[in-house]
Amino acid sequence: MEIALASLKRVFGIGETLATTLVGLVTRIAAKIAAYTYAFLVNRRLGRPQGRIKELWA
């Protein structure tokens, strides 16, 4: 469980959200997960490898 949480913290940058309330934190995490999921969808539609998310925005 600790490894999974550490991975999520690293991938989504949860440690640097700067949220001041629990609702703000949940909102920011949900937005990051939605953006990550959307990037996977775009990669799939373009026929690109799933892990190539950073190159979409560059």
As for how many domains the chain has, the answer is 1
Query: Which pLDDT does position 58 carry in this prediction?
Result: 57
> Burial code of 16-45, b = ≥16 C-beta within 10 A, e = fewer?
eeeeeeeeeeeebbeebeeeeeebeeebee
- pTM score of the predicted model: 0.63
Query: Which pLDDT does position 57 carry in this prediction?
Result: 64
Note the pLDDT tens digit of each residue in 11-56: 777 777 777 888 988 888 888 889 888 888 888 888 888 777 767 6
Neighbours of 11 (CB within 10 A): 12
* Structural domain boundaries, residue 7: 2-57
Helices H / strands E in the chain, number of each: 3, 0
Query: What are 16's two structure tokens?
Result: 């640097």
